[in-house]
Amino acid sequence: MLARVVPFALYMAFLAVEQGARAWGGDFDARWLYPVKVVVVAFALWYFRGEYRELLGRPARAPLIVSILLGVLVFVLWINLDQGWLNLGGEAGYDPRTPDGGLDWTLLAFRLAGAALVVPLMEELFWRSFLMRWIERQDFLAVPASAVGLRAILISSLLFGVEHTLWFAGILAGLAYAWLYRRYNNLWAPIAAHASTNLVLGVWVLQTGAWQFW
């Protein structure tokens, strides 16, 4: 359990520190906590790598294509479900621009790498591989993804959604990733979808300057 919980807990702890640093203000640039967070979480994933035996398999080409396409669909829903009560508001988003309006390429590289590589792996290990199966049965490692019931899918997807500012889009994303995991019984399927969503979102944010989605 720790192998799936600790990287996620570290990520959430850094979120709290980032929010505190932004509220405190001062001369400290809180954006630089994100690269630190990415490195720490990536190290935790590497440290526990021997516990992720289900990642030894790889999805076949067809599931991978379906996962990528579904991930892009989630992106489309994400940017169109941000109105009114669907948006909890709060943070202004991650803005990697310099004071003169250019881009800080170091911040940008860490943000894209974190969103497209580290976060999908960390979150799918926690939300789908651990929590969804744990809700089904506490001996979660003995539960095949294909055996997870509707109750566990709904509860884990609801919690995944409310973790995000765009809570409704988050619930739909959670349901999509959970469906992939259950359908193909392979964690790489939701990881690929999640990575596709985040990568396309990142490219779109850079093109549009809609930093609030980051």
Q: Is 57 left (phi over 0), alpha (psi -120 to 50) or beta?
A: beta
Q: What DSSP state is assigned to residue 124?
A: I
Provide the whole-model pTM. Answer: 0.94
| Cβ neighbour number for residue 167 with a 10 Å cutoff | 18
Task: Tell me how far apart the alpha carbons of residues 133 and 135 are, in angstroms, rounded to a whole number.
Answer: 5
Q: What DSSP state is assigned to residue 143?
A: S
Q: What pLDDT was estimated at residue 181? A: 97
Q: What DSSP state is assigned to residue 29?
A: -
What is the average pLDDT value for the chain, to the nearest integer?
94
Q: pLDDT by residue (tens digit) across 16-40?
A: 998 888 777 767 888 999 999 999 9
β-pair partners for 152: none
Q: Which two tokens stand for residue 139?
A: 């001996």
Helix, strand, or coil here: 148? coil
Q: Which two tokens stand for residue 30?
A: 């809180």
Cβ contacts of residue 146 below 8 Å, gap of 6+? 182, 183, 185
Q: What is the mean pLDDT of the segment spanning 1-19?
A: 95
Task: Tell me how far apart the alpha carbons of residues 63 and 95 are, in angstroms, rounded to a whole number.
Answer: 34
The pLDDT of residue 90 is above 70: no
Q: What is the mean pLDDT of the segment spanning 93-102?
A: 90
| Cβ neighbour number for residue 85 with a 10 Å cutoff | 7
158 and 151 in contact (C-beta within 8 Å)? no
Task: Tell me how far apart the alpha carbons of residues 189 and 175 are, in angstroms, rounded to a whole number.
Answer: 13
89: burial class by Cβ within 10 Å (0-12, 13-18, 19+)?
exposed
β-pair partners for 103: 97
Q: What DSSP state is assigned to residue 114?
A: I
Cβ contacts of residue 197 below 8 Å, gap of 6+? 71, 72, 74, 75, 78, 173
Q: pLDDT by residue (tens digit) across 114-133?
A: 999 999 999 999 999 999 99
